[in-house]
Amino acid sequence: MAKDIQQLARRKLNFFQTLKAVSWGFFGVRKGKGYSEDISTLNPVHLILAGLLAAIFFVVGLVLAARGLISYLA
């Protein structure tokens, strides 16, 4: 248990790096080496928050695009 806590303490806690990693992963263009590096350095809490934030922006973007297309065609 102490080893796990030490590993978590050594992780980088930069939220913007997490957003970058999530955006690369969201579009499926991350290489295997970068993925394994991200897994070892990213904070899991930041990763979850960034994933939720990216999903919300994606859904809102789709809804706005659909509404714009419907109003343009009508």
Split at pLDDT 50, 70, 90, the class of 3 is: low
Predicted confidence (pLDDT) per residue in 6-42, tens digit: 565 565 657 888 888 888 877 777 777 777 777 778 8
> 51 near 22, Cβ under 8 Å?
yes
With tokens 């080893």, the residue in question is: 3
For 8, other C-beta atoms within 10 Å of its C-beta total 12
Per-domain boundaries in the chain: 2-73
- Distance (Å, rounded) from C-alpha 18 to C-alpha 22? 6
